[in-house]
Amino acid sequence: MSDKWDIRFLELAEHIARWSKDPSTKVGCVVVGEDREIRSTGFNGFPRGIEDNDGRLNDREKKYPLICHAEENAIMHAARIGVSLKGSTAFVTWPPCSRCARSLIQAGIREVVYSTKNKPPQRWEEDFKISTDMLLEAGINIRPIDLPE
């Protein structure tokens, strides 16, 4: 059962997602501790040193490996400032991909919450099935919730 805090954190993740540079992967992540304090945030973007006009970004096949995913950015930010994410909840705008699922498992996240209103592209459906299995196998609770319109 979702509560007002779930909705607020998911709305914040959606707001953060608007900062994503790649329009096809607008994902925001808010990592929240057990006492509802925000421990870290992240959004999809390019790693430091990659400019918008970088030639490597023109070819879509080469573009995706350069993108830092929202969940990974949140984990890296927490590591830089010395904040532990163990036992936290990750609120994300889409279910995590398999790459981010591995990072969430390693960071010790206990729960992943995402909105059901955002449908990921069909080309990633198989990857999302794999990531869901990975998270469940690691004992991470997955909680999709419906945001009010």
User: pLDDT tens for residues 21-62?
Assistant: 766 678 899 999 999 999 999 998 876 666 767 776 666 555
pLDDT at position 54 is 72
Backbone angles phi, psi at 129, to 5 degrees: -65, -40
pLDDT at position 18 is 87
d(CA 68, CA 109): 19
Convert 106-144 to b/e letters by CB count within 10 Å (16 or more is b): ebebbbbbbbeebebeeeeeebbeebbebbeeeebeeee
> Do residues 85 and 40 make contact, with C-beta atoms less than 8 angstroms apart?
yes
Write the pLDDT tens digit of every residue in 60-75: 555 556 667 899 999 9
Length of the chain: 149
Instruction: Give the rounded percent of residues in the chain with a pLDDT score beyond 70.
Output: 83
Would you please indicate which residues are annotated as catalytic (active-site) residues?
71
pLDDT band at 1 (very low <50, low <70, confident <90, very high): very low
Give every CB contact of residue 24 below 8 A, 6+ residues apart in sequence. Answer: 121
pTM of the prediction?
0.86
Q: Residue 42, class by beta-carbon neighbours within 10 Å (0-12 exposed, 13-18 middle, 19+ buried)?
A: buried
Backbone angles phi, psi at 9, to 5 degrees: -70, -35
Q: Does the pLDDT value for residue 99 go beyond 60?
A: yes
pLDDT at position 117 is 84
Per-residue CA distances from 91 to 58, 64, 65, 85 (Å): 31, 22, 23, 13
pLDDT at position 75 is 94
